[in-house]
Structure 1
Amino acid sequence: MPDPDWLVWAREMQAIAQTGLEFSKDPYDRDRFAALRRLSARIMADHTGADATQIEALFEAEIGYATPKVGVRGAVFDAEGRILMVREAIDGHRWTLPGGWADVNQTPAQSVVREVFEESGYHVRAVKLAAVWDRARQAHPPTAFSVVRMFFICALEGGAPATSLETSEVGWFAEGAIPADLSLRRTLPRHISRMFAHWREPGLPTEFD
């Protein structure tokens, strides 16, 4: 289900405040935008039980024109048709497709190749952009910021399983044996199903929104 209205509105308020503070030179307008940012933090704190001061500090760290954050996920398949997954250490050691935030000065494809290696130990090559999904429309648990994720089909090129500071286990899974304890903040069962579909049918168009 979509994010609740209050979260959508609070995110929009924060984005307006952030962009306003970036471009406004008038001190009175800047005060108004800062007040709007504080109000968005109070709304989120009221609905989540989080500390408003911490949320405000999180928002203050965001500067420049407000845009969605970009994440990447890699769907890597082995010769037996199994998909690569890792356990995320910071999310209760739950399973997910390897991935993370796109890095500055790297293309999304370069970012997903790096993330897969860092989290699993495997060298891969991005061969297809399978999906570009807005996080808020994918039934994930709510988050403070707008996020867009790019899902790539990747070819396995070498390496060996290796965990990292971010992951505690690496594994390969057949389509009918996907772990039940998924990191739903990162990967949903539907995402995995669609990645198998794109792997089986490379000609499928890229999915979006």
Structure 2
Amino acid sequence: MDKQEKKQSMKQDKLIDWAKRLQSLAQAGLTYGKDNFDLERYQEIRDISAEMMAEKSGLPIEKVKELFCNEVGYQTPKLATRAAIFKDDKILLVQENDGTWSIPGGWCEVNLSVKENVVKEIKEEAGIDIAVEKLIAIHDSNKHYKGMYPYGITTVFFLCKPTGGSFTENDETIGSEYFALDNLPELSEDKGSKKQVEMCFKAYHNPNWQAEFE
């Protein structure tokens, strides 16, 4: 990437950040505003933020509004869990429908703790049962990978041990395999980063690992 391309990419990232901030402010206004005229203005700001995201992503405005403007109440980060599972010094990754790979995990359910959630997600995505052994990290995902989400994402990583089960293709994943750190496949840009995979290896090798948090 040359200097001009890098400058353009940074400008586009700023536009995404501005659109997210406008969306958040508009949502708060729609939640707490009382005056009808103010509510109309907040809705217009929300519509403008969706138009900005549609311009950047190339998606139809209707699809962007479905993804970007469907929250109610005060906007807060969503919570997700990921499980670092090792065998023979290799980490378990699952293959997404688009062919890329990721550390298995997913959004937290409202009726489950983060520990219960990671157990459920790994069973669904990788088909295996696990024992949750250690907290690896609590990450602000916006600092580690880029997505088109209007909200922040807090991801909790756990070191886990497989105890049974086997993979079955499902609606979310089409494959499951263990990989060495020096032989990683193409990773999903929306589900994590190579640095986070490297972090999981470090936690696995270090019995005195101290959980990272941001």
Same fold per superposition (TM over 0.5): yes
Deviations 1:57-91 (A, max 9, x none): 3333211110112221110112x2221111011xx
Partner SS for 1:4 = helix
Partner of 1:169: 175
The yes-or-no answer on 1:37 pairing with 2:46 is yes
Q: Percent identity?
A: 32
Gaps of 5+ in 2: 1-8
Partner of 1:160: 166
Contact 1:70 1:149 in 2 (8 A): yes
> Using the alignment, how far apart are the partners of 1:58 and 1:173 within structure 2?
33
Give the one of 143, 146, 156 matched to 2:152: 146
> Using the alignment, how far apart are the partners of 2:188 and 2:69 within structure 1?
28
1:9-24 matched pairs, under 5 angstroms:
9-24=18-33
Give the one of 188, 191, 202 matched to 1:186: 191
1:26-105 matched pairs, under 5 angstroms:
26-78=35-87, 80-89=88-97, 92-105=98-111
Gaps of 5+ in 1: none
The yes-or-no answer on 1:7 pairing with 2:12 is no
Q: How far does residue 194 in structure 1 lie from its aligned partner after superposition?
A: 0.6
Contact 1:122 1:159 in 2 (8 A): yes
TM-score (norm 1): 0.89
TM-score (norm 2): 0.87
Partner of 2:204: 199
> Using the alignment, how far apart are the partners of 1:172 and 1:15 within structure 2?
39
Contact 1:94 1:182 in 2 (8 A): yes
RMSD of aligned residue pairs (Cα, Å): 1.9
The yes-or-no answer on 1:128 pairing with 2:137 is no
Q: How many residues align?
A: 205
> Using the alignment, how far apart are the partners of 1:75 and 1:118 within structure 2?
15
